[in-house]
């Protein structure tokens, strides 16, 4: 049970850490690690190829030693044959012994050459495998570099869109918090005032004060009409 809880906690913190990491930093880390791995692979491949080159040099030296030993053995045999013809037993024994010693050296040198050739065949295969691995990994690094550019472009687009979204959200919040009334609110206030004025007028008409005011207005209007008639007579317009 404790193990499961601990695993859950680790997964939780891992998820939090991943969500908190900057995508651009993660992209750069990925390409940096890929290039470092490529460099390590190149160094290892260089050692494999260098081993093949060293074996080539050793085979060449060993073959040269075999050739020299064979020539010396031939010379020893000729000397031994001359000593035998001349009846020089001491010289015969000397050159025969030298020829035998050289023959043993030839056997050891040829065995060494054969062993080096076997190693060389293996080294050839390993060198080719190493070069192929370097070539394939180099292509992978190039693909990652291209992918890096693509991801950075998408990330920049995402940042721009996030900035636009943030600006729009700020504008919306600002409009919601703005104290200035909207046109619909102003219209509602005007209609309310107009309705109130009409209501007061209607109420005033059914009250004594309203009737009295109406009568005064009628008298004033009548007096005004009389004054206009007087002015017409003076002007001879009647």
Q: What span, in angstroms and rounded, lies between the C-alpha atoms of 6 and 171? A: 45
Convert the pLDDT of each residue in 46-91 to its tens digit: 999 999 999 999 999 999 989 999 999 899 899 989 988 998 999 9
Residue with tokens 């959200």: 169
**Domain residue limits, the chain:** 2-176, 185-235
Mean pLDDT of 105-129: 91
Q: Model's pTM, two decimal places?
A: 0.51
Most confident of 17-26, 101-110, 170-179: 101-110
If you search the block for the tokens 């085979």, which residue do you land on? 59
Tokens of 131: 């070069």
Checking if the pLDDT of 117 tops 90, the result is: yes
Q: What is the pLDDT of residues 30-49, one digit of tens each?
A: 778 888 888 888 899 899 99
The domain defined by 2-176 carries CATH number 1.10.287: yes
């Amino acid at each position: 049970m404790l193990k499961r809880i601990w695993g859950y906690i680790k997964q939780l913190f891992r998820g939090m850490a991943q969500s908190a990491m900057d995508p651009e930093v993660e992209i750069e880390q990925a390409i940096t690690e890929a290039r470092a791995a490529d460099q390590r692979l190149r160094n290892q491949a260089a050692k494999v190829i260098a081993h093949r080159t060293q074996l080539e040099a050793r085979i060449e030296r060993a073959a040269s030693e075999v050739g020299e030993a064979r020539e010396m053995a031939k010379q020893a045999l000729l000397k031994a044959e001359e000593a035998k013809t001349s009846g020089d037993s001491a010289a015969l024994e000397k050159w025969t012994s030298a020829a035998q010693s050289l023959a043993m050296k030839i056997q050891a040198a040829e065995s060494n050459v054969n062993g080096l050739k076997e190693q060389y065949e293996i080294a050839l295969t390993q060198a080719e495998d190493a070069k192929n691995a370097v070539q394939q990994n180099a292509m992978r690094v190039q693909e990652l570099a291209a992918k890096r550019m693509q991801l950075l472009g998408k990330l920049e687009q995402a940042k721009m869109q996030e900035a636009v979204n943030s600006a729009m959200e700020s504008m919306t919040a600002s409009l919601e918090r703005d104290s200035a009334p909207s046109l619909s609110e102003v219209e509602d206030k005007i209609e309310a005032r107009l309705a109130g004025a009409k209501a007061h007028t209607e109420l005033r008409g059914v009250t004594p004060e309203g009737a009295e005011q109406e009568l005064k207005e009628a008298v004033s209007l009548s007096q005004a009409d009389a004054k206009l008639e007087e002015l017409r007579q003076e002007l001879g317009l009647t």
